[in-house]
Structure 1
């Protein structure tokens, strides 16, 4: 089934439920304007969703229902049964229709055939209650309702009888409900049967304060009268009008009934993302607690408790395995396809290209690649900048393309692919490309770089200038470009997500931006380093190697220091001075250094000591600490201390 249909059925059921709740509330409290507004929004949103598909009859019915609610909001019609009953019938019809749509992807002929009658009811052309006609179907009479007929003699007229199945909430007594008294108030009650929901339990486990009953009845009243009796507890009751003899169809087998019931069960469950985020936090706490077992094992071993130390380490390994499985499961629950972001671009490209007088075809590939929800949802803004940049600056007009021998319509590719634990998203156009010489000129004109520095840049490095804040190739400001905000924002947004941006361009042929991002925010492998009495975390991914460097090997180079490692000169920085900590004399004859990569070059960073490695969940800085230079986040260690995680690239820059 199409993913859009699947999403519609999930959201549609939520909107139907919200509309029904609001309408039932309005029946008791017609002056509740907020609930009237909520019902209108639900029907309006539902109509908008239906408009995406070829469900014409449903769209017409919802439009009429929306119009009635709009008039009620304006005070033109009263909020009473004349308004609520028809719209409740529509809501029930939509709910029934969604069940078929979720299986076949289309509105069934049987459901579509009811639309004209609903329209007449909504327009006031029919005065009879819509509930009976809409909620009753001779083709969908459940087995329990048909079985109740056996309890009446054959001479009794069965046509038009209403079958009711009431399953009171277990806590109904505490709500002041009396299930048997409620059933006794049904008009023209013909038959009543009471049974247990579950097999009889022992007297020791039976709870007399909870209701365990299922009450079934046959009554000569109408479905509308029965629904009025249960209007405050509609989720606890099923009401079916039994068919006449000529409408009767062969009873479905138990297997068919079970299959039908199973088909109505939704295969998905909407969960508040905050709950999943909370699970991630709990996993982080478990990881910290797990790490605390290692110091305990070392302490036990140092006191001679070798056997205890081994048992602690064994438990540590088992907990580590379980925590890893739990983290993988929670991470998987947060994964959604990129299609949820990509689907927003076809219409945007069509409209924007039309405004610019350009003909562009958008080709999307790999939209079913999955990534963490936060990453997918955060990608729209940077991709929007790249797409607009391609449409405004990348593509030539149709006459210009024909003049240089290109197809009249441009081609914009938006594609995604998975490579290991990363995703690559590419935005590529077959436009005019980027001229490095022009980039140098614009950068110097705008004061972003000195002219002699621009002249020394290679073409590849010159292209990177377009990521500088304030850079724009457009002299005039429009609603699309010219403000100098765009590609620098793209780079910053992707960096926050833990990714990078690559640019490839050939003048006259086109430009390609490649975003490389992690699939999920995984556990961080950290190397713990010490500077004086302070401890800091450095991402293992940033460290190429560690090295013990004799002080005699250090040489002064201009205003800094360097050393030679395997016939290559490596600049040397001191972490203490980078963090602006007070200087301290060291008596050691050698230095411990981390060899890291910065802007494509190897750089060494001196530390006082290299401690253990740790696997943790790193939290970004928030509050007063947000935006501190050189710090990417914090994490808790097994001993309860907070560890600052360094952003090495930012510290070096």
Structure 2
């Protein structure tokens, strides 16, 4: 049962997202019949999945939502905002209920109580529509007939067709009725499907003398001949005339169905833990591969050059294969940004309505792919940026009209691939950032003096919005004003190995741009020694290495520095940064790594540089989790654990 609920949760979230996307699309284009049919199918399928569990209130709500969509498909009610609002409320309620269902197997008390309110909302919507539209056709096409019509090829819907649902009486055999013979005599039969009225739980419960079948079919008619064929059993048959409009046609000809099925069979749902395990194995292979290098050196040291060359050749071949394996596994983790982007339209709609603002959210580049973990971790920073645009950026409609702007605001969420990185923009056409107000806020909060703020360049003043606790909001709300926001965004992007930039023009809008890696890949490390221990430093953090004479070091206040190409570089010792004893013995020359810390360059003294290696860095866990200055761990070729340092964090 646990596995069944888990599978239900996965499919339910997909169906909820599909329904939400279609309903949002319908709000923008009410005449789009494909989105209407897609939303109907999502709710219909979701209702069927819910029926497997004891979730009666949810099934009732979804049944009423399905009826509302069915009426819209039949053309008896109009698709507008008042039609979409209750359906989106249902979708949101189902989405919020899934976690509780997974944990307990049933609806929580709070969600159970909300079901009654949603039923009243849906019922009142249908009642009001029927009262407001007296001229609408009174006959509503049943759901089973609509679903049955979609199984026909488009060519078969050019003329009037009749949907047939025949439920033979269980004792029909004793009355001399033969259901299949009756169906076979129907004129122009175009589709036939059989199903069971009741599922038989066991073979001993099966009664071969009782009819347990439901027959559904489509005939070209005419209706009079069908009524004549069933004249003796009218109580067992339902006949529905299907209209000739495009609303009943499937979205693609039937000759493409095998192709769609083939595409579906090419994909399969795999537990992400299995792919993560493959990543770990690939990392262990990298470690084993690195172990061949010292082995070749040992062979060369013993005078066996032929063996050393053979080991070196094997190392190169294994390195190529491991790189191919790692690339294949990382690509298996790639998913489109759509998995994160598609969550924002509904959020923007609800938030803008609460703020009383009208705007459009435009999404571009949602098909760009990145590592599953990166895509998942992008939601929080993007959420902050979009909320920032909604609350601070986009002006109310009246204010926009005063400045000759379109009444509706616009937020653009755009992604594109740049080499091995993805670049994401969040652009609003709102009021922009007032640099003078930012300077004044910085002075009021004690971040700098008035004199410093007056001479601060615009570029640096813009960066003040990323300071912890900084906010220009005058009022505290659930969206802004608490001093928590852009600094969190910047830290989140930095944890993903990315950078964040901001551009703004007063009165025109603001653009946030950040670049993050497409995937977490193997890291090239420089292995150094300090205090008798070895540590790894990402080569990307190291600008250059210098062999510095001791006499070139100059004391400056409480620290030390040296001159490099007419530039003063502060000098630190790695052992001091790690708070470990320095190695004994003085050396005339110092081995210095010149690294970047923000916009500054810092020299870091190490005892020795051992080697360069390419390896997979694992994040910290257990007691080491959260230790500042430690980015992760990896294994050396000889099996020793190596701590990978974050020098910028250590220097801070």
Query: Smaller-chain TM-score range?
Result: 0.5 to 0.7
Once the two structures are superposed, residues 349-401 of structure 1 have per-residue CA deviations (whole angstroms, 9 ceiling, x without a partner) of 23323332333222222121111111112111111111111111112223323
Matches within 5 A, 1:294-443: 294-443=293-442
Task: Tell me the distance in 2 between the aligned counterparts of 1:321 and 1:332.
Answer: 17
- The 2-side partners of 1:646 and 1:46 are apart by 57
Paired with 2:72 and 2:290, the residues of 1 have a C-alpha distance of 56
- Structure 1 residue 444 corresponds to structure 2 residue 443: yes
Cα distance in 2 for partners of 1:47, 1:324 equals: 54
Shift of 1:443: 2.2
Deviations 1:551-598 (A, max 9, x none): 121122232222222222222111111111123444221111111112
Q: For the Cα contact (< 8 Å) 1:13–1:98, is it kept in 2?
A: no
**Distance across 2 between alignment mates of 1:652 and 1:113:** 78
1:606 corresponding residue in structure 2: 605
What's the TM-score, normalizing by structure 2? Answer: 0.66
- Cα gap change, 1:385 to 1:161, in 2 (>3 Å): closer
- Distance between the aligned counterparts of 1:489 and 1:128, measured in 2? 66
Deviations 1:444-463 (A, max 9, x none): 32234455554453222222
Report the Cα distance in structure 2 between the residues aligned to 1:319 and 1:97, rounded to whole angstroms.
Answer: 57
**Aligned residue for 1:36?**
54
Q: Tell me the secondary structure at the aligned position of residue 549 of structure 1.
A: strand
Q: Could you say if the C-alpha distance between residues 650 and 452 of structure 1 is closer, same or farther in structure 2, counting changes exceeding 3 Å?
A: farther
Which 10-residue stretch deviates more, 483-492 or 350-359?
Answer: 350-359
Give the match's secondary structure for 1:301: helix
User: Is 1:273 the counterpart of 2:272 in the alignment?
Assistant: yes
Equivalent position SS for 1:470 = coil
Q: Secondary structure at the match of 1:578?
A: helix
Counterparts of 1:337 and 1:646 in 2: how far apart (Å)?
31
When structure 1 is superposed on structure 2, of 557-566 and 571-580 the one drifting more is 557-566
For structure 2, the residue ranges without an aligned partner over 5 or more in a row are 1-16, 23-37, 78-86, 95-105, 114-142, 173-178, 197-201, 220-224, 227-252
The answer (yes or no) to whether the contact 2:531–2:582 under 8 Å persists in 1 is: no
Q: Is the Cα–Cα contact under 8 Å of residues 16 and 42 in structure 1 kept in the other structure?
A: no
SS at match of 1:375: helix
User: Would the alpha carbon gap of residues 360 and 140 (structure 1) be closer, same or farther in structure 2, given more than 3 Å must change?
Assistant: closer
Distance 1:590 1:365, change over 3 A: same
Aligned to 1:507: 506
> What per-residue deviation string (whole Å, max 9, x for no partner) do you get for residues 403-423 of structure 1?
333333332221111111011
Partners of 1:482 and 1:141 in 2: how far apart? 63
1:538 deviates by 0.7
Q: Output one character per residue of 1:624-650: Cα deviation in whole Å (capped at 9) or x when no partner.
A: 212111111111222111111111111
- The equivalences for 1:283-294 within 5 A come to 283-294=282-293
Distance in 1 separating the partners of 2:70 and 2:483: 40
**Matching of residue 594 in structure 1 with residue 593 in structure 2:** yes
1:539/1:18 CA distance change after superposition, 3 Å? farther
8 Å contact from structure 1 (residues 100, 108) kept in 2: no
Secondary structure of the residue aligned to 2:468 is coil
CA separation of 1:494/1:564 partners in 2, compared to 1, >3 Å: closer, same or farther?
Answer: same
Cα distance change on mapping 1:297 and 1:458 into 2, 3 Å: same
- Residues paired across the two proteins, number: 510
Distance 2:144 2:302 in 1: 74
Aligned residue number for residue 557 of structure 2:
558
Does the CA contact (< 8 Å) of 2:165 and 2:216 recur in 1?
A: no
Matched ranges for 1:491-506 at <5 A: 491-506=490-505
Match of 1:618 in 2: 617
Give the corresponding residue for 1:483: 482
* CA distance in 2: counterparts of 1:414 and 1:408, whole angstroms: 20
CA distance in 2, matches of 1:127, 1:407: 64
- Aligned 8 A contact 2:547 2:591 in 1: yes
Question: Relative to structure 2, which stretch is displaced further, 580-589 or 46-55?
Answer: 46-55
Residues in 2 aligned to 1:315 and 1:50: alpha-carbon distance in whole angstroms: 67
Residue aligning to 2:97: none
Kept in 1: contact 2:43–2:62 (CA 8 A): no
Is the contact between residue 572 and residue 605 of structure 1 (CA under 8 Å) also seen in structure 2? yes
Q: Label 1:574 to 1:452 Cα distance change in 2 as closer, same or farther (>3 A).
A: farther
Instruction: Return closer, same or farther for 1:581/1:45 CA change in 2, 3 Å cut-off.
Output: farther
Deviation at 1:280, TM superposition (A): 1.1
Task: Supply the distance in 1 between the matched residues of 2:273 and 2:63 (Cα, whole angstroms).
Answer: 25
Separation (CA, whole Å) in 2 of partners of 1:637 and 1:459: 47
Deviation at 1:651, TM superposition (A): 1.3
Query: CA 1:14–1:410 in 2, change beyond 3 Å: closer, same or farther?
Result: closer
Deviations along 1:484-512, whole A, 9 cap, x unmatched? 11111111211221111111122232211
Q: Secondary structure at the match of 2:480?
A: coil
Are the structure 2 counterparts of residues 463 and 301 from structure 1 closer, same or farther at C-alpha, using a change threshold of 3 Å?
same
Relative to structure 1, the CA distance from residue 48 to residue 491 in structure 2 (aligned partners, 3 Å threshold; closer, same or farther) is farther
Distance 1:276 1:368 in 2: 21
Deviation, structure 1 residue 524: 0.9
1:532 is matched with 531
Q: Deviations along 1:92-124, whole A, 9 cap, x unmatched?
A: 9899979969x99xx9999x976x959xx8xxx
SS of 2:54's equivalent in the other structure is helix
Deviations 1:334-356 (A, max 9, x none): 11111222222223323323332
TM-score by length of 1: 0.66
Q: Assess if the C-alpha contact under 8 Å between 2:530 and 2:582 holds in 1.
A: no
- Distance, in Å, in 1 between the alignment partners of 2:376 and 2:580 is 39
Question: Following the alignment from structure 2 to structure 1, what is the Cα–Cα distance between the partners of residues 287 and 44?
Answer: 41
SS at match of 1:498: coil
Q: Is the 8 A contact 1:15 1:43 kept in 2?
A: no
Where 1:538 maps in the other structure, the secondary structure is strand
CA distance in 2, matches of 1:415, 1:625: 37
Q: Bigger CA drift: 342-351 or 260-269?
A: 260-269
TM-aligned CA distance change 1:17 to 1:468, over 3 Å = closer
Distance 1:597 1:644 in 2: 20
Please tell me whether the aligned partners of residues 503 and 514 of structure 1 are also in contact (alpha carbons under 8 angstroms). Answer: yes
Partner-residue secondary structure (3-state), 1:36: coil
Mapped partners of 2:470, 2:450: distance in 1 = 15
| Cα separation, partners in 2 of 1:478 and 1:223, compared to 1, 3 Å | same
1:641 aligns with 2:646: no
Q: 1:569 matched to which residue of 2?
A: 568
Q: CA, structure 1 residues 397+470, in 2 after alignment: closer, same or farther (shift >3 Å)?
A: same
C-alpha distance in 2, partners of 1:109/1:645? 69
Compute the displacement of 1:601 (Å): 2.1
Judging changes above 3 Å, is the alpha-carbon distance between structure 1 residues 457 and 223 closer, same or farther for their aligned structure 2 residues?
same
